[in-house]
Amino acid sequence: MASSLNRSLLRSLLRSAALASRSYASSSTAVAPLGFASAAPSTTLYNARFFSSSIARSLATPQTGPTQIPEGRPSSPEAVHTATYDATSAQSQARDAPVYPDYSKGPSALDKAGQLFFFTEILRGMWIVLENFFRPPYTIMYPFEKGPLSPRFRGEHALRRYPTGEERCIACKLCEAICPAQAITIESEPREDGARRTTRYDIDMTKCIYCGFCQEACPVDAIVETQNAEYSTETREELLYNKEKLLANGDRAEAEIAANIYADHLQR
C-alpha cells in the first residue's frame, strides 16, 4: 500500500515538474534575447530533472529512526542527524555487503608435510584404540548375562493373588474397556457371598501393544506386566493366554512384582 502511494506521488510530481519546465521554457524563449534563447530551456530542464531525481531518491530511501544514541547531550540537532545518518549508513552497508566463505585459508604446507611424513592421523587413531583397549567392556554376554531393567518395564502379563490365595480380580472390566487393542476378554459371575468373580480372563498377546493401560486402570493391582521379555513360542495358539496361564505367571513372579510396585508407588 505504501509503495503504491509513493509511486503515484512520484508520477504526479514528475508530471508537474515536466509541465513547469515546458511552460517556463516557452516563456523564456519568447522573452529572452536571441543569444540566450537556446540556453534557458536546457538549464530549466536540468533543474527539473535534478528536482525530480532528488524527490525520487528521498521517496525510495526508507525513513527509519536512529539506531545508535550518542553519549552525552548533543550540541545541535544537525550533529545528531549527522551521527545517526553515519551509523545507519555504516550498518546498512555492513548488512548489505555480500558474505562469501573464505576458502583460501587452509592447512599450511608444514601441517600437510607433518601429516604426510609423521602419520599423525594414524597415530591419533592408534591412541584411541589403545585408550579403549584397557577399559572394561561395555557389552554383556546375553543371554548368560543380562542388564538391569526398570521397575516400569512392561513385559509378559500376569494375574495376582492376595496373600491368602484369593484372586485379586473383581471383574470390574476396566482393563477390558481401556485396552486400545481390544486384546482382553472377561466374563464374570456372582460368587456365593454376592461378590463378582471372573470365570474367563483371556489376553491375546498377538494384539497387545504393551501400553500398560490395563495395569494403570486396575483398582486392585490384579493385572500387571512383569519384567519377563522372553516368552517366544513356536505356535500362535500359545500366545492366547487364559486365566490359568496368567495366574501361573503371577504366582511365579509375585515377589518381583510386589517389589516393582513398591518401588514405583510414589509415581502412581
Residue-range domain boundaries for the chain: 157-267
Say what the pTM is.
0.50
Alpha-carbon distance of 87 to 64, in angstroms, equals 12
Domain 157-267 coded CATH 3.30.70.3270: yes
Is the pLDDT reported for residue 136 higher than 80?
A: yes
Average pLDDT over residues 36-57: 48
Could you tell me if 142 and 231 are in contact, meaning their C-beta atoms sit under 8 angstroms apart? no
The pLDDT, as a whole number, for residue 40 is 45
pLDDT of residue 101: 58
pLDDT greater than 70 at residue 190? yes
Q: Which residue has the higher pLDDT, 185 or 72?
A: 185
What does pLDDT average to over the chain?
Answer: 76
In angstroms, the Cα distances linking 85 to 12, 56, 70, 82, 97 are 29, 19, 12, 5, 18
- pLDDT digit string, tens, across residues 80-108: 444 454 555 656 666 666 666 565 677 77
Q: How confident is the model at residue 73 (pLDDT cuts 50, 70, 90)?
A: low
- Is residue 221 within 8 Å of residue 160, measured between CB atoms? yes
**Residue 32's pLDDT band (boundaries 50, 70, 90)?**
very low
Q: Which residue has the higher pLDDT, 64 or 174?
A: 174
In this prediction, residue 109 has a pLDDT band, given cuts at 50, 70 and 90, of confident
**Separation of alpha carbons 99 and 217, rounded Å:** 61
What was the pLDDT predicted at 69?
Answer: 53
